[in-house]
Amino acid sequence: MKLFGDDDRPDWEKMSNDGMNKFLIFLIFCIFAYGFIYALIELFHKYF
Estimate to the nearest angstrom the gap between the alpha carbon of 19 and the chain centroid.
Answer: 14
Q: Please give the model's pTM, rounded to 2 decimal places.
A: 0.62
Cα–Cα distances in angstroms (integers) from residue 10 to residues 2, 22, 27, in the given order: 14, 18, 26
Per-residue confidence of the chain (48 residues) as pLDDT tens digits? Answer: 556 667 787 888 777 777 888 899 999 999 999 999 999 999 999 998
Domain ranges of the chain: 20-47
